[in-house]
Copies of this chain bind each other. A is one copy, B any other.
Amino acid sequence: MNQIEALENLVAYFRALPGVGLKTAQRYAYKIINSESSFAEGFSNAILDAKKKIGYCKECGNFTDREVCEICSERNPKVICVVREPKDVVAIEKAKNFNGVYHVLHGTISPLENRGPNDIRIKELLERISKYQTQEVIMATNPDVEGDATALYIAKLLKPLGVKVTRLAQGVSMGSELEYADEVTLARAIEARREI
């Protein structure tokens, strides 16, 4: 079989994307080669541009192209919703019934993966709570073992500070991924959040 180096190289990059196998990577590469040059140039620039311009909000840790993201600049920091990943912010924003700010932990506590409280953004959360005199923290980590453990750990830290800590209500099903919950389920879960 003839090996075309430039093709193999592009296929290898596509395979590095999450969930992409060899055949899918080949289809993606063929699409690039079969398209207009302007598509390849635009795609190439979009990757560089996203990597260059997008960083983490110094407040909440979500992706942003500014120093402080739009949500943190405009909304009330008295209520903070704590999530694991930036994509969870997207999911909760779709529910359209939360007006506070977010805090992205970038992970959950996981002894199995050797990730402790100091490896996720808990210190930054405590700083924000004292800086803004936050009244309520909604724990919106995934409803699975690690998400629950992280929520409980943070709740225990915050109780002595007099902060109300709540957890998303029943409605998000056990073992599922927050990212795939539908808007109505997430909206109900926010409405019926309970103190822990």
Contact = CB atoms under 8 A, between A and B. Distances in A.
A93 B1 CA distance: 6
A23 interface: yes
A84 to B, nearest CB: 13
Contacts of A23: 179-180
A64 B69 CA distance: 46
B50 A29 contact: yes
A2 B54 CA distance: 13
A160 interface: no
Nearest to A48: B44
A42 interface: yes
A32 B47 contact: yes
Interface stretch (A13-21, A123-131, A139-147): A13-21
A86 B46 CA distance: 27
B43 A7 contact: no
Interface stretch (A33-41, A150-158, A168-176): A33-41
Given A12-B46, A30-B87, 12 more contacts: A5-B65, A10-B49, A10-B50, A13-B43, A16-B31, A17-B27, A18-B27, A19-B24, A23-B180, A29-B50, A43-B47, A44-B48
- Which 9 pairs between the two chains have the least Cβ-Cβ distance? A2-B70, A40-B51, A10-B50, A6-B53, A44-B44, A10-B46, A44-B47, A1-B93, A13-B43
